[in-house]
Structure 1
């Protein structure tokens, strides 16, 4: 057992952080020096501290997620962070989203596939439009939920880029 200023790290953690039953069973006195020979540097991983004491909450959340997964997936509502990320994909010409495969100009500006077919130069910098893929944005697109293009008429759904076009073809707000 490692010690820090005369306190065993394990005893300190179990005395400070709650256990599943709420009772510290190792040592009732968190300042006890029993079992320590000399002060030494303590090493406790930040992950251990951040996850200790929340095991029961994690189990509950997992059980809830499993129970909910049997139901048909409903479109989720966008939050501020998702909307900020989705705005990175906004086409400067039509304000729709550029979805994978995402091509960029030499300066890194993107446009959606529909507008790209109609353009001869980048609308932002007037540089040439080459077939340079933006792999970083493509990877990011895999974890972003995009709002339906009919959100202005009332659709509140957000979708993975691969399901967005399918939804928009049958959206009740189109």
Structure 2
């Protein structure tokens, strides 16, 4: 009996050892499965990190595109301002050219008036010269007439005057 009890105890102990080994194997399998699940979770986490990184990169690219669009907008605004300034400068230049043309027109008008005054003065001088010429002509005609009159009146006295002149 005693031996039977020992035998039962040994069998029980063997069975407990087997059960413990089986439980240990099962625990090892569960640990391996948990390791696999952990690895899978790590892979999913890595994939999520990659997706997050890709999303971050896409966000950065969108931000860069937004900055580029803003810079392009600023450049367009600057070009618009430059075009406005150039148009204003062109307008001012046109006004200045118009003022210069007006000043030149006034100068030309003044020169024309001066030329007209000079022409009038020349005409007056010409009239005066003509009057002087007429006066000279009248004086010449008068001298001719006086000479003729003197010739007519003094002809009879000429031999007398000629004889008197010989004494000088």
Which category of TM-score, normalised to the shorter sequence, fits these structures? under 0.3
Q: Specify which structure has the bigger relative contact order, considering alpha-carbon pairs within 8 angstroms and separated by 6 or more residues.
A: 1
Higher relative strand content = 1
Q: TM-score, normalised by structure 2?
A: 0.18
Q: TM-score, normalised by structure 1?
A: 0.17
Higher relative helix content = 2
